[in-house]
Amino acid sequence: MSRDSVKTVIGASMVGTAIEFYDFYAYGTASANYFPKLFFPETNGTVALLASLLTFAVAFVARPVGSLVFGHFGDRLGRKVTLVVSLLTMGCATVLIGVLPTYGTWGVFAVVALCLCRFVQGIGLGGEWSGAALVATENAPEHRRALYGSFPELGAPIGFFLSNGTFFVLEMFCAPDQMMSWGWRVPFLLSSVLVLVGLAVRVTMEETPVFRLALEQKKVVKAPLVEVFKKSWKQVLQATFLVAVTYTLFYTLATWSLAFGTKSTAQGGGGLGFSTSEYLLMLMVSIVVFAAFIVLSCVYADRVGRKRVLVASSVALLVFSLLFPYLLMAHHNTFQVMTFLCVGFALMGIAFGPIGAFLPELFEANVRYSGAGIGYNLAAIVGAAFVPTIATWLSTHWGVRSVGVYLAVMAACCLVAVLSCHETKSVDFAQ
């Protein structure tokens, strides 16, 4: 059956996912740097930071809800229309955050509205990743599924780079008072332009050949969610713990470490003495390493299999977890922090890259959107929802080494999940 061109597949999977991750990460940066003072001004520094990071967790609780809703329609109606709706859902919630009054105007209702918008963000992103992964892998040649699966994975570093780049430029040209009054709103409002670009790409794509084949062969099921939990519950659990460590690692690197490196100990940070703009620049440099290793790991996963790559990354993460705290103990040591970020994001790329193909390959075509989406987004709760909050609490009470132990536990869980899986490199993806 006919397939979309590589350019269309890249546009529909990578560009759309990059936009949604841009929205998601913009909130992460704002919650670590601006929201403690804007929405929780009446509490002390550490408590305000913890409260702000808890609003960050709201979307991760919502993401499995989004995967249930969008997964059902993605397996019933198709990948294309579902991805268009998920992008609109995410974009509208993000723009609304950009126009919200703060605590000084609305009081506690501002916090409630912020949490509601964040919840809708989570629902939108809950339907995004699995659909984008299927658009990529179901259009891929048999021997290039992992490489094609890297397209939506690359949306994560691209979205992160765009988000942090926007905040970095604003920090460079705006005074602190300007950032707190209106500058923080700009990245959220710019999302409206990006969403229009994403919609233009997705509306023009075709339905995937695998889903069209399922329609022709009358294999589309009426209740995909029931089928997933009835026949593929084991694969859902495996998918959850395969992905969970990548979430824990990412938000340790990108959100917790940003607060730890830029805030004083009285504010819940580590007192490393970096400015926000300095740390954002280091994150932007290291995110390029993340993108490069996504592609490299996927090329290797197509050659030797997904399982071998993920076993190696899990073992390497265990070692990294026990060593990285020693890189975050010196005041304003750029070399050590850059080593922490670059090595961490390299391992993140290796662990995250093959997931784009591996998770869909665990499920049959007629329940693939639901199964991959539920596993991926349950991992968001297990591995990411409370990572910045937990890591901040651990580092404040037990020191930075305790954060390493936390990451090591998640890496061990991933290793067990990988070892329990069969290699999927050669599965019949049309079935």
pTM higher than the cut 0.95? no
Q: What angle do CA 301, 307, 309 make, to 5 degrees?
A: 50
- Report, as an integer, the average pLDDT of 180-204: 89
End-to-end Cα, the chain, rounded Å:
15
Q: How far is it, in rounded angstroms, from Cα 70 to Cα 77? A: 10
pLDDT of 220 above 90:
no
- Output the CA torsion 245→247→251→254 (10° steps): 100
pLDDT of 380 above 90:
no
pLDDT of 385 above 80:
no
Q: Considering only CA atoms, which of 313, 299, 361, 374 is closest in space to residue 129? A: 374
Q: Considering only CA atoms, which of 71, 73, 392 is closest in space to residue 260? A: 392
Q: What is the pLDDT of residue 369?
A: 83
- Report, as an integer, the average pLDDT of 294-303: 95
**Helical segments of 271-361, H only:** 276-304, 306-323, 334-352, 355-361
- What DSSP character marks residue 274? -
Quick: pLDDT tens for 57-105: 888 888 888 888 888 888 888 888 888 898 889 889 999 999 999 999 9
Strands (E), 72-162: none
Q: Give the CA diameter of the chain.
A: 63
Q: What is the pLDDT of residue 376?
A: 87
Quick: pLDDT tens for 17-34: 788 778 878 888 898 889
- Report, as an integer, the average pLDDT of 369-381: 87
- Domains, in order of start, for the chain: 6-190+220-420 (1.20.1250.20)
Quick: pLDDT tens for 390-411: 888 898 889 899 999 999 999 9
